[in-house]
A and B are shown apart, each in its own frame.
Chain A
């Protein structure tokens, strides 16, 4: 971990000094224990603040949409898939982006840490190779890193960047396990059970739209829920309206979502948004043999068609 961090800083410094990029977007240590935050670097000296570890959870590709200059970006496997999506949809230009790819063996889910803390305050987090020691007042607990890994990361098949300008560190082994086992298990439940589950999740939604705002695939100047001439989408907190918001959003990002998990991470109400998105991803893969963010050439599946597309669902 330490070595790749050193390498990362050197690469970033060189890029800025050689004026290959105007801005580096990466991660720095946050002010809270076990947290990192995004950093925007324009001066070569500042590159020493850059860090890379399993706590770098943000999908920084989100900031590329606003950048007007040449940007060097520190990106994990999933972030790079988002970048490919944005390039393909002509939101950013490939020549303006310098991708510093970092192989990632999974990031930790701070919500899982919060579950362990049960409201106690975390004052210090000490990392070793396979364990994290959580310290606070009247608290000292050792936790295996594997237990804290984010749900999206566990079975991730793209831990090594698929597209990059320079690669930091060594390639890592891919995630194990069946990618869609959660979805399949859930799909085997009855209609009523599934409906009750989604209704329950949606009833907690407070419509803060954090999931939409953080999503790398959501960049419409005006989102459907903000349309007001007329206001044809329900705006109440009724589970019917909130569930419809999540379902329509899932449809909008079907074939574009790369399961970076940003929406689940930002959700203040801990709504399991991943289930719907993963299902859409699975369907697109089954029906149109397409995976988002893998190649720059393939057309987005929902923007194209084939004469012999499956249509067994049509009477």
Chain B
């Protein structure tokens, strides 16, 4: 993982590395649509496809941060649209507590973000990625949970 790290000596050249967990049925298809539509968005996201936002163990998010990722974006189907009926609704409760606990422990607001993107929202996908990248750029490199070498 360390080998892939986009690190540069000068801060101005620093580019954030963001992991996006996208659910297979909506958000991943949304990202696909953005691709098909040739919509531009920053190349700082690495997408990980998961079966459902309910599949996302809070540890996935924390472990990403531990491995030196600068931001995490989690996206699933809009409430009511889940392929598994209620996966995203159970996940929503889990994420709400996770986000509050992480922020309480000192992880900066905006480091971990959540959103709903449907399969038809390619435009919105590229917009969200732009916003998230900008916000995380403003926060600077992630120092929380990272083990110093």
A255 and B95 alpha carbons, distance in the complex (Å):
14
Stretch touching chain A among B8-16, B32-40, B43-51, B104-112: B104-112
Stretch touching chain B among A56-64, A77-85, A111-119, A280-288: A280-288
Q: Give per-residue flags for B113-149: 1 if the beta carbon is below 8 A from chain A beta carbons, else 0.
A: 1111000000000001001000000000000111100
Nearest CB of chain B from residue A31's CB, rounded to whole Å: 40
Give the number of chain B interface residues (Cβ < 8 Å): 38
8 contacts between A and B (CB under 8 A): A248-B59, A276-B105, A279-B100, A283-B97, A287-B93, A305-B93, A309-B92, A315-B115
Contact in complex: B89, A194 (CB < 8 Å): no
Nearest CB of chain A from residue B39's CB, rounded to whole Å: 18
A240 and B146 alpha carbons, distance in the complex (Å):
7
Interface flag for A302 (CB, 8 Å): yes
Contact in complex: A240, B97 (CB < 8 Å): no
Contact in complex: A309, B96 (CB < 8 Å): yes
Contact in complex: B101, A191 (CB < 8 Å): no
Closest to A302 in B: B93
Interface residue ranges, B against A (CB under 8 Å)? 58-59, 62-63, 66, 79-80, 86, 89-90, 92-109, 113-116, 128, 131, 144-147
Given contact pairs A280-B101, A305-B89, A287 touches B96 in the complex (Cβ within 8 A): yes
Nearest CB of chain B from residue A229's CB, rounded to whole Å: 16
Known: A251-B101, A283-B96, A313-B96. 9 other contacts (CB 8 A): A191-B107, A194-B106, A247-B105, A248-B62, A255-B97, A302-B97, A314-B92, A314-B116, A315-B115
Contact in complex: A191, B89 (CB < 8 Å): no
Contact in complex: B104, A279 (CB < 8 Å): yes
Interface flag for A311 (CB, 8 Å): yes
A-B contact count, CB below 8 Å? 108
Nearest CB of chain A from residue B45's CB, rounded to whole Å: 14
Interface flag for A219 (CB, 8 Å): no
A283 and B92 alpha carbons, distance in the complex (Å):
14
Q: Return the contact of A247 from the options B79, B94, B101, B113 (Cβ within 8 A).
A: B101
Contact in complex: A284, B97 (CB < 8 Å): yes
A237 and B136 alpha carbons, distance in the complex (Å):
29
Contact in complex: A243, B145 (CB < 8 Å): yes
CB-CB nearest 10 A-B residue pairs: A195-B106, A305-B89, A194-B106, A315-B115, A314-B114, A191-B106, A283-B100, A240-B145, A279-B104, A254-B97
